[in-house]
């Protein structure tokens, strides 16, 4: 299989490499002058980090394997502090490197500790889930959670490179793979309508890594993100469009104590954002219907329980896009036409939630 290189431009440009066997490029990314490489990966999945560690040792590096909890449980101050302590014990210097291997939570954490240790050491991301490949590991956004919200503590820190080995997707649990489709579908609505057409052409194929359009969907979504973050790394303007659907999604994750998959929460958030735009008179009914239809066709949720609204609304108040006491929502005026809704009325927000809770 051929390898695709998607360039992420900016002050610190790098490539996202997509294909099979791309792990062979890891030693070159780590580079010369590096003595020790810290490999951060989920403790429950030692098999995903093993080939990474073996590749690095074969290249002559001293490898330190640092297992962390699964999923969002890894993204805490406590786990970050444990990694910082480990970096100190193993003598990780500014000329050494960190490799994050796993899903989006792991790459978020690995990027954050790399960004903050000695004010920044080299990090390479090796995402092994669909969500991490098309979203979390690309773009240089790193972070951890606090009791008050998701990703409120973090840093913009571009990696040296991202290696997406498509072969690893075969072992991803089906529910996790489908959840990752939400971010791909989001990319279709905000920037690349071809993504939507590919999913609609073969919904069953979209749900499996062996689908006819799988690689095209992955590469198109990565390209969407690369184009956006290359122009706006620090979310000063354009990059906010990547948060489409995330204001409610992050609130749902908090209410569920992160027991819901990120992609499932995003899917619900996409429908909510579409309903807000429709009720505000800016988005056609047909686009809202299409949003529900596409998400449902691949098995993603599109509604949430009505009684949760007060708690959800409270969590939405600390959304990263808010300015002062004013909530800002990313919405659509049409497919691939993104805008922002400033300080929407409480009636509008609640009415839109009613539409997804019926």
32 among known catalytic residues: no
Rg, the chain, Cα only: 20
What is the percentage of the chain residues whose pLDDT exceeds 70? 98
According to the annotation, is 105 in a ligand binding site? yes
Q: Which two tokens stand for residue 228?
A: 């956006």
Burial class (CB in 10 A: 0-12, 13-18, 19+), 11: exposed
239 counts as catalytic: yes
Q: 57 an active-site residue?
A: no
Q: Domain locations in the chain? A: 4-171, 174-357
Separation CA 89–CA 87 (nearest Å): 6
Q: How far is CA 105 from the centre of its chain?
A: 8
148: confidence class by pLDDT, cuts 50, 70, 90: confident
Rounded to an integer, the average pLDDT of 237-255 is: 94
pLDDT digits (tens, 9 = 90+) for 205-222: 999 999 999 999 999 999
Q: Strand, helix or coil at 141?
A: strand
Q: How confident is the model at residue 234 (pLDDT cuts 50, 70, 90)?
A: confident
Q: 156 pLDDT band (50/70/90 cuts)?
A: very high
pLDDT at 62: 98
Question: Which of 36, 128, 52, 49 is closest to 86 using CA atoms?
Answer: 36
The answer to whether 129 is annotated as binding is yes
pLDDT score of 238: 87
For residue range 45-80, what is the model confidence (pLDDT) as tens digits? 999 999 999 999 999 999 999 999 999 999 999 999
Tokens of 180: 């990752």
* Average predicted confidence (pLDDT) for the chain: 95
Q: What is the pLDDT of residue 358?
A: 84
Distance CA 264, CA 271 (A): 11
Percent of the chain with pLDDT over 90: 93
| Residue 118 confidence (pLDDT) above 90 | yes
Nearest to 71 by CA among 109, 100, 123: 109
- Whole-number Å distance between alpha carbons of 29 and 124: 7
Whether the pLDDT of residue 323 is over 60: the answer is no
Residue 232 binned pLDDT confidence (cut-offs 50, 70, 90): confident
**pTM for the full predicted model:** 0.95
Q: Indicate if 9 belongs to the active site.
A: no
Under the banding of pLDDT at 50, 70 and 90, the label for residue 119 is very high
Domain 4-171 CATH assignment equals 3.40.50.1970: yes
Mean pLDDT, residues 324-332 taken together: 87
Give the pLDDT of residue 57.
Answer: 97
Q: How many CB atoms lie within 10 A of CB 354?
A: 13
- β-pairing verdict for 141-146 and 149-156: antiparallel
Identify whether 315 is a catalytic site residue: no
Among 145, 207, 219, 235, the one annotated catalytic: 235
Query: Which of the 8 DSSP states describes residue 140?
Result: S
Residue range 290-307: average pLDDT?
98
> Catalytic: which of 32, 47, 89, 119?
119
Q: Give the pair of three-digit tokens for residue 96.
A: 């050494």
Query: What would the two tokens of residue 176 be?
Result: 């996790």
- Examine the pLDDT at 1 and tell me if it is beyond 70: no
The residue-averaged pLDDT of 346-353 equals 98
Helices 214-231 and 193-201, axial angle in degrees (round to 10): 160
Q: What is the pLDDT of residue 5?
A: 98
Query: CA distances (Å), 172 to each of 177, 179, 208, 306, in order?
Result: 6, 11, 10, 32
**Cα-flanking dihedrals φ and ψ of residue 146, to 5°?**
-130, 170
Residue 149 in this model has a pLDDT that exceeds 90: no
Which candidate, 180, 146, 165, 157, places its Cα nearest to that of 110? 157
Contact between 288 and 296 under an 8 Å Cβ cutoff? The reply is no
Banded model confidence at residue 236, pLDDT cuts 50, 70, 90? confident
121 neighbors 96 (Cβ within 8 angstroms): yes
Q: Are 272 and 279 in contact (CB under 8 A)?
A: no
Residue 145 annotated in active site: no
* Closest listed residue to residue 337, CA positions, set 260, 250, 277, 264: 277
Is 119 a catalytic site residue?
yes
State the CATH class of domain 174-357. Answer: mainly alpha
Q: What is the pLDDT of residue 325?
A: 66
Q: What whole-number distance in Å separates Cα of residue 356 and Cα of residue 342?
A: 21
**Backbone phi and psi for residue 337, each to the nearest 5 degrees, phi listed first:** -130, 95
Greater confidence, 37 or 358?
A: 37
Average pLDDT of the segment spanning 127-135: 97
Give the number of other Cβ atoms within 10 Å of residue 24's Cβ. Answer: 11
Q: From the candidates 25, 183, 219, 253, which is the catalytic residue?
A: 183
CA geometry: angle 259, 263, 267, nearest 5 deg: 110
For the stretch 305-319, pLDDT in tens is 999 999 999 999 887
How far is residue 164's CA from residue 19's CA, in Å, rounded to a whole number?
A: 7
Confirm if 208 and 330 have CB atoms less than 8 A apart: no
| Active-site residue flag, 355 | no
What's the pLDDT band for 328 if we cut at 50, 70, 90?
Answer: very high
Contact indicator for 250, 236 with CB cutoff of 8 Å? no
Helix, strand, coil content of the chain in percent (nearest 5): 50, 20, 30
Q: Which of 207, 220, 246, 292 is catalytic?
A: 246
């Amino acid at each position: 299989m051929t390898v695709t290189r998607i360039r992420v431009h900016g002050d610190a440009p790098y490539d996202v490499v997509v294909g099979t066997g791309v792990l062979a490029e890891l030693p070159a990314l780590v580079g010369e002058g590096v003595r020790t490489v810290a490999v951060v990966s989920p403790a429950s999945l030692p098999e995903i980090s093993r080939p990474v560690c073996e590749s690095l040792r074969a290249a002559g590096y001293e490898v330190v394997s640092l297992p962390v909890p699964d999923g969002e449980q890894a993204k805490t101050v406590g786990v970050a502090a444990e990694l910082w302590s480990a970096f100190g014990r193993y003598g990780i210097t500014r000329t050494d490197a960190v490799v994050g291997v796993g899903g989006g939570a792991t790459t978020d954490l690995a990027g954050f500790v790399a960004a903050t240790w000695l004010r920044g050491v080299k990090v390479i991301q090796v995402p092994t889930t669909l969500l991490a490949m098309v979203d979390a590991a690309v773009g240089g956004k790193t972070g951890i959670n606090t009791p008050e919200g998701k990703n409120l503590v973090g840093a913009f820190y571009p990696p040296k490179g991202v290696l997406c080995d498509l072969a690893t997707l075969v072992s991803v649990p089906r529910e996790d793979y489908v959840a990752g489709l939400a971010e791909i579908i989001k990319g279709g609505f905000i920037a690349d309508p071809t993504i939507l057409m590919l999913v609609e052409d073969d919904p069953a194929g979209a749900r499996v890594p062996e689908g006819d359009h799988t690689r095209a969907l992955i590469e198109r979504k990565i390209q969407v993100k690369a184009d956006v973050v290359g122009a706006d790394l620090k979310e000063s303007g354009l990059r906010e469009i990547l948060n489409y659907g995330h204001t409610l999604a992050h609130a749902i994750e908090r209410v569920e104590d992160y027991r819901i998959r990120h992609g499932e929460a995003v899917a619900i958030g996409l429908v909510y954002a579409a309903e807000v735009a429709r009720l505000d008179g800016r988005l056609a009914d047909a686009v809202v219907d299409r949003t529900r239809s596409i998400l449902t066709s691949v098995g993603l949720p599109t509604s949430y329980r009505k009684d949760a609204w007060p708690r959800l609304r409270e969590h939405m108040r600390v959304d990263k896009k808010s300015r002062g006491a004013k909530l800002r929502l990313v919405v659509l005026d049409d497919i691939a036409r993104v805008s922002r809704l400033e300080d929407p009325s409480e009636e509008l927000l609640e009415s839109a939630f009613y539409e997804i809770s019926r």
